[in-house]
Amino acid sequence: MIESASNYGDNQVSPKSDTMDVDNPQGSSVALSEDPSGAGGDAGKKKALLAGLVGVLIFISGIAVGAIIDFDSLGGGSESGQAKESALEAAKERCASRSPFIVVGDGGQTLTVDGQGEEAPGLSFGTIECVLSALETPDSVIAEMKATRALDGRQSGQWGGLKASWSYHPNSGIDLVLTASE
């Protein structure tokens, strides 16, 4: 005679289903089930898949950031642009690091200098000469700057990968723009 359920201690297994009722020590019953359709495990599978995808994205992002940092540390990137940028910034730091009358702009490619005039505050010409010296400005360009009159309009000079343009008026002083050229 075949029984419809087998008794193994307190656990009962029914041959008609894959469900097993297990009595826990508190006396309540817990059902363990294997659902062949996967309907009950879809949420868990989706969470596991999502967690895996997030892990892969974090891993790939880490590799990309590491490659960028390594590329820059090996000297990859624009050497000539970086050299002129550092020269303009170094001149500002050396001669007037905290002055509001000297400003680095355009991602380090421009240095704007506002000189002192009779009626306007600004950098003294001695400080401007420090900046020009730090940038290895030729004496001929400095002489042209000193000789500029208000009636002369905007003047310019070029040397060693840098271009300077300036104007002068006794009331407002010299206005000088230095630009790194490629």
Specify whether 146 is located in the same domain as 116: yes
Domains identified in the chain, total number: 3
Per DSSP (E only), the strands in 26-154 are 29-32, 102-105, 110-114
Bridge partner residues of 157 (DSSP): 164
Q: Are residues 26 and 57 in the same domain?
A: no
Q: What residues contact residue 84 under an 8 Å CB cut-off, 6+ apart?
A: 108, 109, 161, 162, 180, 181
Is the domain of 175 the same as that of 123? yes
> Which residue intervals of the chain are DSSP H helices?
42-73, 79-96, 125-134, 139-147
Q: Are 67 and 119 within one domain?
A: no
Instruction: Tell me: do 165 and 147 sit in the same domain.
Output: yes
127 and 175 in a common domain:
yes
Asked whether the whole model's pTM tops 0.75, one would answer no
Task: Name 63's bridge partners.
Answer: none
Same domain, 21 and 99: no
Q: Is 17 helix (H, G, I), strand (E, B) or coil?
A: coil
One domain for residues 157 and 170: yes
Domain match, 83 and 167 both: yes
Domain that residue 16 falls in: 1-32
Instruction: Record the tokens describing residue 4, joined without a space.
Output: 């419809």
Q: Please indicate, yes or no, whether residues 99 and 128 belong to a single structural domain of this protein.
A: yes
- Do residues 170 and 87 both lie within one domain? yes
Q: How far apart are CA 16 and CA 37, in angstroms?
A: 17
pLDDT in tens, the chain (182 residues): 444 444 444 444 444 444 444 444 454 444 444 445 545 567 778 888 887 777 777 877 777 666 666 554 455 444 444 554 469 999 999 999 999 999 999 988 999 999 999 999 999 999 999 999 999 999 999 999 999 999 999 999 999 999 999 999 999 999 999 999 86
